[in-house]
Structure 1
Amino acid sequence: MDFQNVLSENKDGILQITVNRPSKLNALNKETIDELHQAFKAAAEEDEVKVIILTGSGEKAFVAGADISEFSDFSPEEGEELAAQGQAKLFDFVANFSKPVIAAVNGFALGGGLELAMAAHFRIASENAKMGLPEVSLGVIPGYGGTQRLPQLVGKGRAMEMIMTAGMIDANQALQYNLVNHVTTQEELIEFAERLAGKIMRNSLVAIKSAIKAVNANYETGVDGFKTEISEFGKCFGTEDFEEGTTAFLNKRRADFPGK
């Protein structure tokens, strides 16, 4: 699939999706959001794709925010529709994606860029990464899930401070805040992400799909995460992966999961 602003490359089951607008510091515009949606949608339908690594092109930015020129003259109704469509098409789509998504933050992740990284299932960052939600400095608030996901990850107080000050934190501070899981050099970032992806791929991706659904259920209003866990746990017993995993364990051999 050919895109203008997104690169997609599958290597041994690991699909690297790269936001590719280096002249704009990979800022998200409508076209890029649409293309990212299509790239993830295609990945969901391809059995060869096991894990996704999401990153930005170049050495300066993961995604340095949204393309402000596209919505600077919007009405309140248009602004609300912008947030609703963006969340449904990309940010919630990624957060609830059935295959593991690792964000490899290789530089600035600001505004919509940080919101995109937070939508991934977990994040690693290069040492030069800077993260923040500067929206209030523009007279608006984060609209792609930032006010919800940031407190879930770093706690209410730190999230309030980051949002109210519109300031940036560096990679080490993000690690202390639990906003990212690991910090590496920029040169090692993708290789490190691939090693993590490899560890994930040794396990049952069918079970991981259920785990993603169960974990996310805890953050959905009106949903009992424990009931979702019980349901998904039960479903696992009907899979070929469960049969292979338990048989391999009892026979003291490594499991070879069929992914069914």
Structure 2
Amino acid sequence: MNYTNILSETENGITTLTINRPSKLNALNRETIQELHDALAVAENSSKTKVIIITGSGEKAFVAGADISEFADFSVGEGEKLAAKGQELLFDFVANLSKPVIAAINGFALGGGLELAMAAHFRIASENAKMGLPEVSLGVIPGYGGTQRLPQLVGKGRAMEMIMTAGMIDASQALQYGLVNHVTSLEELLEFTEKIAGKIMKNSSVAIASAISAINANYEDGVNGFETEIKNFGESFGTEDFKEGTQAFLQKRKADFPGK
């Protein structure tokens, strides 16, 4: 599939999606959101993909925000539809994929860019990365899940401060906050991320998908995460991966998971 604003490459079980709008610091417009959705759907349904990495092109930005020119004159109703469609197409879609999604933050991750990174299952940042939700400086609030996911990751007080001040934090502060899992040099970012992806791929893809579902359940209104965990745990016993994993352990050999 050909894309205008992103690059997609699959190698050794890893699909890397690179947002490629360097002249706009990889800002998210509607076309890019749709292309990311399409590429993620392809990766989710491909037997060749075990882990997905999302990053930005160049050395300045992961995603420097949404493309403000697209919605500067929107009405109240249009603004609400923009947020709802964006969350459905991309941000919630990413969060609920059954395959692990890692955000490799290679520079500015602001507004919709940070919201995209937070929708990923976890984040790795380069030392030059800067993160923030500056929407209130434009008279609006984060609309792609930022007011919900940031407090979950860094705590309510820190999220309130970051959103109210519209300020940025650097990679070391993001690591201290728990917003990112690791910080590396820019040159090592993708290699480091791929190494973690390699560790993930040694394990059962079926169990990983089940774990993602159980973890996400804890953040859904009206859903008891413990009950989802119990259900998913029980269902694991009926998988071929469970049979292979337990037999490999008992036989003291490396498991070769069939992914079923």
Counterpart position of 2:74: 74
Letter in 1 for 2:73: D
CA distance in structure 2 between the partners assigned to 1:38 and 1:123 by the alignment: 21
Q: Which amino acid in 2 is paired with 1:168?
A: M
Gaps of 5+ in 1: none
Match in the other structure for 1:12: 12
Displacement of 1:44 in angstroms is: 1.1
Alignment of 1:51-70 (within 5 A): 51-70=51-70
Equivalent residue runs for 1:78-89 within 5 Å: 78-89=78-89
* Counterpart residue identity of residue 200, structure 1: I
1:173 aligns with 2:173: yes
User: Is residue 157 from structure 1 mapped to residue 165 from structure 2 by the alignment?
Assistant: no
Percent identity, aligned pairs only, is: 78
Matched residue SS, 1:258: coil
Amino acid at match of 1:174: A
Superposition pairs of residues 87-102 of structure 1, within 5 angstroms = 87-102=87-102
SS at match of 1:109: strand
- Can you list the C-alpha shifts for 1:108-150, whole angstroms capped at 9, x where unaligned? 0000000000000000000000000000000000000000000
Q: Counterparts in 2 of 1:107-186, with a 5 A limit? A: 107-186=107-186
- Kindly state the Cα deviation for residue 244 of structure 1 after the two structures are TM-superposed: 0.1
User: How far, CA to CA, are the matches of 1:27 and 1:247 in structure 2?
Assistant: 48
Root mean square deviation of aligned Cα: 0.3
* Residue identity in the other structure for 1:77: G
Q: Which residue of 2 aligns with 1:32?
A: 32
Question: How far did residue 173 of structure 1 move?
Answer: 0.2
Shift of 1:45: 1.1
Instruction: Name the residue aligned to 2:241.
Output: 241
Cα distance between partner residues in 2 of 1:68 and 1:11: 34
**After the TM superposition, which segments of 4 or more aligned residues of structure 1 sit over 3 Å from their partners?**
none
3-state SS, counterpart of residue 128 of structure 2: coil
**Residues 1:195 and 2:195 are matched in the alignment:** yes
Deviation at 1:42, TM superposition (A): 0.5
Separation in structure 2 between the aligned mates of residue 181 and residue 44 of structure 1, nearest angstrom: 23
Q: Matched residues in 2 for 1:200 and 1:12: separation?
A: 13
Give, in whole Å, the separation in 1 of the partners of 2:256 and 2:110. Answer: 40
Q: Which residue of 1 aligns with 2:46?
A: 46
Counterpart CA distance in 2 for 1:64 and 1:40 is 20
Instruction: Compute the TM-score of the two structures, normalised by the length of structure 1.
Output: 1.00
Listed one character per residue, the Cα deviations across residues 47-71 of structure 1 (whole Å, up to 9, x for unaligned) are: 1100001000000000000000000
When the two structures are superposed, what TM-score results if normalisation uses the length of structure 2? 1.00
Q: Cα distance, 1:184 vs. partner? A: 0.1
The number of aligned residues is: 260
Residue 172 of structure 1, CA deviation:
0.1
Match of 1:180, as an amino acid?
V
Question: Per the alignment, in what secondary structure is the counterpart of residue 169 of structure 2?
Answer: strand
Alignment of 1:241-260 (within 5 A): 241-260=241-260
Counterpart for residue 230 of structure 1: 230
The one-letter amino acid of 2:10's match is N
Q: C-alpha offsets along residues 85-105 of structure 1, whole Å, 9 cap, x if unaligned?
A: 000000000000110000000
CA distance in 1, matches of 2:14, 2:33: 21
**One-letter code aligned to 1:234:** G
